[in-house]
Amino acid sequence: MQKKILVAGAGGFIGGHLVAELLRKGHKDIRAVDIKPFNEWYQRFPQVENVQADLQLKDACDRATKGVEQVYNLAADMGGMGFIELNKGLCMLSVLINTHLLMAAKDAGVKRFFYASSACVYNGEKQTDPNVTGLREEDAYPAMPEDGYGWEKLFSERMCRHFMEDFKITTRVARFHNVYGPNGTYDGGREKAPAAICRKVIQAKLSGKHEIEIWGDGHQTRSFMYIDDCILGIDKIFTSETVTFPINLGSAEKVSINQLVDIVEDIAGIKLKRKYKLDAPKGVNGRNSDNTLIKKVLNWEPNLPLRVGMEKTYAWIYDEMTRGK
């Protein structure tokens, strides 16, 4: 518990929850870094060292890793499909963060380094059917990832591998599959489907205008992992001595976007007229996590049912949207 820990991207959704969990476990010496102004951090804890800095810059990474033994890199310029399809260049620039953090970590003598990758690294040809089988770790090659964001993630995975081989930094890589939950983005253009649908259903309920716009035809499928499962998985992967390769961290509970809307409507006690925006960004037709490997090496997989997690998420977003009204 005396090790100095850096959480990069600590002002973001997953980063904020990770800092909270590290504190809960008794860690005292935590440096939390994010590019956002402090008032825009989703969670901020006064008992840690909070730093606003642009980790795309090498000198900022040098300062952030000074005296640090463990690094969690969750920093990236990213969002839901509406953001990553329309901001490929910005997403690619996140390669500077992981590159400079790894270089700084090597110079600072960091012992262990975690990189948050994404299911967007997977070959697009394996995701053309909504009835997709779960994606296995080897399905990232031959490489044909999500344009922009996925290429950056795949390249950064390789960099982690080669820094471990060449410079003996213990690196761990998890491929996140659609993380959702409270204390995250639910509007503004960077939100992902679970939060966006919660917001739209709540807006319809509060306004009395009982209709909802759905991006695509609603048949596209995904899996969604609740934030508590994500944080537990990060810890298991980070501390593992055997997970020396990129590994899926996601739920295997596949659902269509139409089914996700069904769940949120049921939670809200409302039925809405659906309008499909077929020209909106919708990503691949089908994506799900094959958890065979994580179950084999960690004897665990993310397992909170989607309905349970969506109830928690809906309640938090509803409170946020109605606060002060």
d(CA 236, CA 230): 10
- Which of 72, 115, 149, 180 does the annotation list as catalytic? 149
| CB proximity list for 110: less than 8 A, separation 6 or greater | 65, 68, 69, 70, 71, 169
Does residue 149 have an active-site annotation? yes
At 96, is the secondary structure helix, strand, or coil?
helix
Query: Among candidates 242, 6, 23, which has minimal Cα distance to 105?
Result: 6
Q: Is 54 within 8 Å of 60 (Cβ atoms)?
A: yes
- b or e along 275-297 (b: 16 or more beta carbons within 10 Å of the residue's beta carbon)? ebeeeeebbbbbbbbbbebbeeb
Note the residue count of the chain.
Answer: 325
Region of 208 (left: φ > 0; alpha: ψ -120 to 50; beta: rest) is left
Strand partners of residue 171:
113
Q: What is the set of active-site residues?
A: 149
